[in-house]
Amino acid sequence: MKRIRSRISVWVAVLLVFIPLTILAEAGSSWSQINQSLERGAQWQRMVENTGAFQMGGMHPLEGTEGLYISEWGTYPSIDGSTVCVPLAMEMARQWLDLKEEDLNGFVNFSTTPYAYDRLFHKKPNPMVTIISQGVMMDDTHPVDLVLGTGPNADERQEAQEAGVELVMVPVCYDAFVFLVNDNNPVETLTKEEIRGIYTGYIRAWSQVGGAEDLLIAAYQRPHGSGSQTAMEEMVMDGYQLVADPNYISDGMSDLIEQIGNYDNSLNAIGYSYLYYVNSLYREGQLKILSVDGIAPTEENLQNESYPYTVYYYAVYEKGNEIASRFVEWMTSDEGQACVQQAGYVPLRKLQK
């Protein structure tokens, strides 16, 4: 164990030399928003048959070091994205690159939605991708090829247009945009109109929607530009103006989960997130997922899109990027969708078992 820790410490020190501190400061890390183990399960299976289709390129020694290397990306895309898609990217790396579990955290080092899109639009690299057990740093001059996650918001779409980047957005799986309350809250379902009423400030007390009498609602939300806030602004509010109380804006998805699950907010808090994130990536306190218009976000209700806030996660890349295009074509194939399902996501269609 000491030997492993020593090797990692040396490698981290090398990375700090080669990665500008400004990059580390400006780019968030999705791993700070995850508190669950994401290791492969005992029933994990390799789904791919043509294991040579997407592979890393050659390696060369890192100048001035011993036993450390730079690896080219080869035919495997450089991927960045939203926190909620970290396990999806991990599964892709397991399938194609056969990485050790101990290396996946470094290889899938997502910077969160806004930073990932900035890298894609402006042809910037993700400089923090490593395979520590092999002493490998991935080529930090290669720009991000592919973003996995929530779609870009209106500002980001405008930014891409101004940068001369024509985006290709391909759905790769379903998820649900969900509303959360503490498990002690008696409310089980809200209508779309009630949700908009809460977040415009028109509905201010839980008694107006079947909750505890005379208890004011604490309506938590996320900062503009985050993936969940984009869904809230563009899909849920649908032209209505969000009222933002600075006391109820959560910097990270994990912060929002903690604030709603907290005992002190047992009856008055409400917030939103993605079903996969709540179920698989961050668990804290006692949460209840509300139905909307009486419809629960089950897998069946996502695939038939009867749940009102059914969403896609997208693979987004610049038109003309052949590496990304081929990879996404595979992700949407039956084989790729089987991998999506194995990672715990809802595939685009029912698959034969």
pLDDT per residue as tens digits for the range 316-338 = 999 999 999 999 999 999 999 99
Contact 197, 233 (CB under 8 A): no
Task: Say what percent of the chain tops pLDDT 90.
Answer: 69
Alpha carbon distances (Å) from 68 to 11, 114, 218: 8, 31, 51
* pLDDT of residue 6 exceeding 70: no
According to DSSP H, which parts of the chain are helical? 2-18, 21-26, 86-97, 101-107, 113-121, 154-162, 192-200, 227-231, 253-261, 275-276, 299-303, 322-331, 334-342
* pLDDT of residue 25 exceeding 60: no
The torsion angles phi and psi of 345, rounded to 5 degrees, stand at -95, 165
pLDDT value, residue 271: 94
Contact 224, 264 (CB under 8 A): no
pLDDT tens digits along 86-136: 999 999 999 999 889 999 999 999 999 999 999 999 999 998 899 999 999
pLDDT tens digits along 174-197: 999 999 999 989 999 999 999 999
Domains for the chain: give ranges and CATH numbers.
2-28+52-149+320-342 (no CATH), 175-310 (3.40.190.10)
Stretch 293-313: mean pLDDT, rounded? 96
pLDDT value, residue 329: 98
| CA nearest to 93, candidates 103, 84, 83 | 103
Stretch 224-230: mean pLDDT, rounded? 85
Stretch 263-290: mean pLDDT, rounded? 88
Report the range of poorest mean pLDDT among 222-226, 259-263, 277-281: 259-263
pLDDT tier for residue 159 given thresholds of 50, 70 and 90: very high
**Tokens encoding 224:** 């503009």
Higher pLDDT, 283 or 122: 122
Residue 221 CB contacts under 8 Å (≥ 6 apart), including other chains: 199, 229, 232, 242, 244, 248, 249, 250, 271, 272
pLDDT value, residue 316: 98
pLDDT tier for residue 258 given thresholds of 50, 70 and 90: confident
Contact 192, 177 (CB under 8 A): no
What mean pLDDT is reported for the chain? 88
pLDDT value, residue 14: 47
Alpha carbon distances (Å) from 57 to 101, 127, 138, 170: 21, 17, 10, 26
Rounded-to-integer distance, Cα 118 and Cα 125, Å: 10
Contact 169, 151 (CB under 8 A): yes
* pLDDT of residue 172 exceeding 50: yes
Higher pLDDT, 178 or 227: 178
Rounded-to-integer distance, Cα 70 and Cα 137, Å: 5
pLDDT value, residue 265: 63
Quickly count: other Cβ atoms within 10 Å of residue 75's Cβ.
16
pLDDT value, residue 261: 82
Its pTM surpasses 0.95? no
Q: What is the 3-state secondary structure (H, E, C) of 83-144?
A: HHHHHHHHHHHHHHHCCCHHHHHHHCCCCCHHHHHHHHHCCCECCCCEEHHHCEEECCCCEC
**Tokens encoding 71:** 């690896």
| Helix-then-strand count for the chain, H and E | 13, 13
Higher pLDDT, 81 or 31: 81
pLDDT tier for residue 26 given thresholds of 50, 70 and 90: very low
User: Would you give the end-to-end CA distance of the chain in angstroms?
Assistant: 41
* pLDDT of residue 168 exceeding 80: yes
pLDDT tier for residue 28 given thresholds of 50, 70 and 90: low
| CA nearest to 147, candidates 70, 78, 93 | 78
